[in-house]
Structures are given as structure tokens and as C-alpha cells.
């Protein structure tokens, strides 16, 4: 306990910076991910009233739905632009300046949204949503959002962390993501801002949070790796380490950065096309592809789709359902916080494999309870409990570990562009699942859970075989691990020898 308190005092400035990063980073992604659900009926009514006042006629239902879908989708359009711009911004200006720029965009978007009712212009909501989308590429169904503030936040947090706390600090981005969803559900209650008179203030709440980050972030330094590897400022790097980590000997961390600098000497920050063409980065890209697709296809979208139906069949009163949904968000938040406290002890692979296996087991039980709920009414309540358990398993494992691994397997010269590629993978995956999943539900019903069970089991096997443990290792060491664990056969080695070497390394915890 004494050791924990001493570390808390030593790293107090680092923890303060994590709070400042989080509230204006992934917290906003989580908030914007959930808040639109609470304002939907009020925005549609506002559009109707505005149209009637302007043109003296009622807006047809088809056109109303078109405008509403445009308000929802324009956020995603801006999100794709934000995703593509984030790599260039973080590489050219650093994570700190990128986040400050992002805050200015968000404050502008909040002002537009907050003023829309007084101006009687729903077009201002469209403009505000587009700017918010540029600031954050929204990933639906509680997936990993990759926009300017997500990219910059995750990379920034990973780069300012000492090696022994790297897993914990990387997971904080997911903690704040879950916190944002929880805050949105709290503020969206009818007793607070989820009312017809306050919905525009609820939508613009993100601007207040961005303003707080805009004020306090300039008091903190740029990340040490960025200062040393890109700006070649050794003195500034050491100064930033002491500012963030307190007084102490950080020669080991500095030597690790110097090794990475030697490896990447003469190598500029790569753009997306250069990273795709770089053969030495392909194992890391394949790993990222595996992790992101497994996260998207883990069954969370199916759980989200069936949650309301399961709550209704369990005879939960309509007025209670928002509080039960809030309980689901709080469960996710608590489980991710717990994940952040154990990830540096358990390692990334154990959390990923264990979390996915537990999620697969819960989906099998949920499938069984849904099929038999008409025969045994008490199984409907078991289904509600299983939803909570699934969210907890998701938070304990993949929700935190995926972000940690993604931030650790790339060097500074490739990280920004790799995150852009990751964002594109997510958007393509979302487009595919968004088009296919409703038809799968229509054809298979609750049997669609079996698809996700198969995906989870296959993901566990591939992660176990091909993902090296990154716990406690520097970026240069992780790069060497990937080099020794090839995805392709080496022509000058016998197949049997290579297979033996691959098995020996890749399956070792």
C-alpha cells in the first residue's frame, strides 16, 4: 500500500495529464456515441416545427426521416475526414497541438448546436455534427472510434507512459470512452438534460469539456518520444520525462528511445502508402487487422440490437429500462477500470484470449436462454444477467487490451499512419456489418449469435499463435519479436525448422 501511494505521489503530474487527455479525448467519443439516442425525438420535432414556420406546411414523413438520417450520417462523413486527417496532423504538429486544434473544432461545433434552437435553423445542427465528426470518427455499436482526438489521445497517452505503467495508461483511453457513454446516459435522463427544453444543451455538452482541455493541456509537455525521435531534442525529452514522471533515474527509458532512434535513423514519419508498402511493418498491420476485426465482430452489435427486446420480454417497466441501460454502462466502466489495474500483471494476450473465450461461452448461454425462454419464463431474467456478464467480459479483456497492443507494436515513424489505416479498417468493417447484420438477424434470429461465437474462437486461436506478448517490452524489442515470428516462410530455411521456431516463440506467454 505504501509503495502504491508513493508511486501515486511520484506520478501525480502524469495522472493529472491523463485526466486532461481523457476528458477531451476518448471521453468525447463515448459521449457523442450515446447522446444522439436521447435527443432523437426532440430534434425531429424541432425540424418539423422549423419547416412549418418557414414554409407554412407540414414536412412529409419521408423527408423528415431523410433529414434525420442526414444529421446522423453527416457525423460519420466528417468522421472519415477526421480519420484521414489525423495521421497528417499528429505527424506534422505532434499529439499535443493536434488535440488543441481538435478542441477548437469541438467548441465551434458546440456553439453551432447550442444556438440552433434560438436561430431556428436545423442546418446548424448539421454543421455542428459534421465538425464533431471531423473531430472524432464515430464507431457504432461501442467499437473503437478512431478520429483526431482518439488517434492523438491514444498515441499521446502511450508515449508519455513509463514502461512499467504503459499497459495501465494505454487502457485509460478505453476507460474514458466508457465514462463518456456513462455520462451521456446520466445526463440524458429525463430528470436532467434529456428533456425537450434542454436537448440542445445536452448535445453541446462536449464543447464545455473540450474547452476545459483547451485551457489546461498547454501546461503539459509534448511526449518524450516525439521530442527525441522527431524533433531530436534530447534535453527536451529528459525534461519532459522529469516533468511527467517526477524526479528519478530514467536512463533505461531514454536508452530504449535511443535504440529506437538508431533503428529508425534517417527514417521520416511515413505516410499511409509508405507504411502499406513497407514489408517490415506487415506483420504488425496484419495483427492490427486481426484485433480490429475481432473487436468489431465479437458480438457486441448483436447484444446492442437485442438489449431492448430482452429487457421488454423480461417485463421490465419502460420507465426502468433507461436505468438498467445505465447499469450496463456502469458495469462496462468498472470492468475496464479493473482491466487497467491488472493488464501490466496479466499481460495482453491472456486478457485477449481469456476475454474472448468467456464472451463466447456467455453468447452460447444467451443463445440457449433466448431459445428456451418461452418454455421457462425465468430464463428471461437470466438473459438480462447474461447481458451484464457479456459487457463485463468485454471490458475485462478486449476493450482495454486491443488499444494497448495497437499502441505498442508500431514505432513512432509508422504509428500515426497505422492508426489511420486502422480507422479505415473500422469504417469498412462497419459498412459491411451495417449492411449484412440486419439481414442476418432477419434470417437467423437469435441464431446469429453462433456466427460471433465462431469469430471469437477463431480469433483466440490466431491471437495465441501470432501475437507476441508486449508486456514490459520496449518498441524496439517488440519489433524484433515480430521479425522472429514471420507470417511468411523464409525461403532459405526448411519448412520444418521454421515451423518449430514459430511455435516455440509465438505460443509462449
Question: Any idea where the domains of the chain sit in the sequence?
Answer: 11-220, 267-509
Q: Answer yes or no: is pLDDT of 508 > 50.
A: no
SS (H, E, C) 311-371: HHHCCCCCCCHHHHHHHHHHHHHHHHHHHHHHHHHHCHHHHHHHHHHHHHHHHHHHHHHHH
Task: Give 83-104 pLDDT, tens digit per residue.
Answer: 667 666 766 776 778 778 888 8
Q: How high is the pLDDT of residue 406?
A: 84
| C-alpha cell read off for 89 | 496532423
DSSP letter for 279, please.
G
CA distance 305 to 310: 10
Share above pLDDT 90 across residues of the chain, in percent, rounded to a whole number: 11
pLDDT band at 305 (very low <50, low <70, confident <90, very high): low
DSSP class per residue in 448-493: GHHHHHHHHHHHHHHHHHH----TT--HHHHHHHHHHS-SS--TTS
3-state DSSP assignment of residue 142: coil
Pick from 44-53, 216-225, 288-297, 470-479: least confident: 470-479
pLDDT band at 162 (very low <50, low <70, confident <90, very high): confident
* Residue range 380-400: mean pLDDT, rounded: 88
Q: How high is the pLDDT of residue 224?
A: 84
pTM above 0.75, yes or no: no
To 10 degrees, the CA torsion angle through 99, 105, 111, 117? -120
C-alpha distance from residue 414 to each of 153, 246, 274, 282, 506 (Å): 16, 29, 9, 11, 23
**What CATH topology corresponds to 11-220?**
Growth Hormone; Chain: A; (1.20.1250)
Pick from 76-80, 308-312, 489-493: least confident: 489-493
CA distance 481 to 471: 12
Mean pLDDT of the chain: 78
Q: Which of 199, 206, 200 is nearest to 183 (CA)?
A: 206
Tell me whether domains 11-220 and 267-509 share a fold. Answer: yes
- The CATH number given to 267-509 is 1.20.1250.20
Task: Give 41-75 pLDDT, tens digit per residue.
Answer: 888 889 988 998 888 888 888 888 788 778 877 77
Task: Give 186-209 pLDDT, tens digit per residue.
Answer: 998 888 888 888 888 888 888 898
Task: Give 479-495 pLDDT, tens digit per residue.
Answer: 888 877 654 444 444 43
pLDDT band at 238 (very low <50, low <70, confident <90, very high): confident
Pick from 118-122, 165-169, 493-497: least confident: 493-497
Q: Which of 300, 481, 317, 500 is nearest to 399 (CA)?
A: 300
* CA 27, 32, 38, 42 torsion-angle sign: positive
Q: How high is the pLDDT of residue 70?
A: 80
Amino acid at each position: 500500500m505504501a509503495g502504491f501511494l508513493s508511486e501515486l505521489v511520484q506520478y501525480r503530474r502524469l495522472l493529472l495529464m491523463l485526466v486532461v487527455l481523457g476528458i477531451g479525448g476518448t471521453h468525447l467519443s463515448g459521449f457523442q456515441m450515446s447522446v444522439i439516442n436521447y435527443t432523437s425525438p426532440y430534434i425531429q420535432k424541432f425540424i418539423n416545427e422549423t419547416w412549418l414556420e418557414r414554409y407554412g406546411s407540414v414536412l412529409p414523413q419521408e423527408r423528415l426521416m431523410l433529414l434525420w438520417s442526414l444529421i446522423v450520417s453527416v457525423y460519420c462523413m466528417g468522421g472519415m475526414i477526421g480519420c484521414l486527417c489525423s495521421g497528417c496532423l499528429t505527424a506534422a504538429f505532434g499529439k499535443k497541438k493536434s488535440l488543441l486544434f481538435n478542441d477548437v473544432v469541438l467548441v465551434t461545433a458546440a456553439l453551432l448546436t447550442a444556438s440552433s434552437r434560438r436561430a431556428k435553423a436545423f442546418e446548424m445542427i448539421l454543421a455542428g455534427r459534421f465538425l464533431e465528426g471531423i473531430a472524432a470518427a464515430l464507431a457504432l455499436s461501442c467499437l473503437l472510434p478512431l478520429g483526431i482526438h482518439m488517434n492523438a489521445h491514444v498515441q499521446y497517452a502511450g508515449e508519455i507512459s513509463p514502461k512499467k505503467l504503459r499497459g495501465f495508461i494505454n487502457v485509460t483511453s478505453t476507460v474514458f470512452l466508457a465514462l463518456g457513454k456513462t455520462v451521456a446516459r446520466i445526463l440524458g435522463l429525463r430528470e436532467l438534460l434529456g428533456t425537450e427544453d434542454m436537448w440542445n444543451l445536452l448535445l453541446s455538452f462536449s464543447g464545455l469539456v473540450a474547452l476545459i482541455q483547451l485551457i489546461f493541456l498547454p501546461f503539459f509537455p509534448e511526449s518524450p518520444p516525439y521530442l527525441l525521435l522527431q524533433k531530436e531534442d534530447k534535453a527536451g525529452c529528459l525534461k519532459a520525462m522529469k516533468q511527467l514522471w517526477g524526479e528519478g533515474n530514467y536512463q533505461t527509458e531514454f536508452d530504449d528511445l535511443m535504440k529506437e532512434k538508431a533503428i529508425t535513423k534517417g527514417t521520416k514519419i511515413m505516410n499511409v502508402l509508405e507504411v502499406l508498402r513497407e514489408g517490415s511493418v506487415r506483420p504488425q498491420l496484419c495483427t492490427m487487422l486481426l484485433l480490429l476485426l475481432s473487436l468489431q465482430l465479437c458480438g457486441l452489435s448483436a447484444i446492442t440490437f437485442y438489449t431492448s427486446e430482452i429487457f421488454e420480454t423480461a417485463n421490465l417497466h419502460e420507465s426502468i429500462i433507461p436505468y438498467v441501460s445505465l447499469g450496463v454502462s456502469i458495469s462496462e466502466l468498472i470492468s475496464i477500470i479493473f482491466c487497467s489495474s491488472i493488464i501490466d500483471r496479466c499481460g495482453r494476450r491472456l486478457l485477449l484470449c481469456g476475454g474472448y473465450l468467456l464472451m463466447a461461452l456467455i453468447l452460447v448461454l444467451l443463445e440457449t436462454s433466448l431459445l428456451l425462454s418461452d418454455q421457462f419464463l425465468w430464463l428471461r431474467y437470466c438473459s438480462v444477467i447474461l447481458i451484464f456478464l457479456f459487457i463485463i467480459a468485454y471490458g475485462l479483456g478486449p476493450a482495454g487490451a486491443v488499444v494497448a497492443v495497437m499502441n505498442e507494436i508500431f514505432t513512432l515513424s509508422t504509428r500515426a499512419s497505422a492508426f489511420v489505416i486502422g480507422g479505415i479498417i473500422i469504417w469498412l468493417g462497419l459498412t459491411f456489418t451495417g449492411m449484412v447484420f440486419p439481414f442476418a438477424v432477419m434470417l437467423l434470429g437469435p441464431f446469429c449469435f453462433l456466427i460471433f461465437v465462431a469469430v471469437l474462437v477463431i480469433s483466440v486461436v490466431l491471437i495465441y499463435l501470432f501475437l507476441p506478448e508486449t508486456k514490459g517490452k520496449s518498441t524496439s524489442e517488440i519489433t524484433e519479436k515480430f521479425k522472429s515470428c514471420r507470417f511468411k516462410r523464409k525461403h532459405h530455411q526448411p519448412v520444418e525448422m521454421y515451423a518449430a521456431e514459430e511455435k516455440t516463440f509465438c505460443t509462449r506467454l
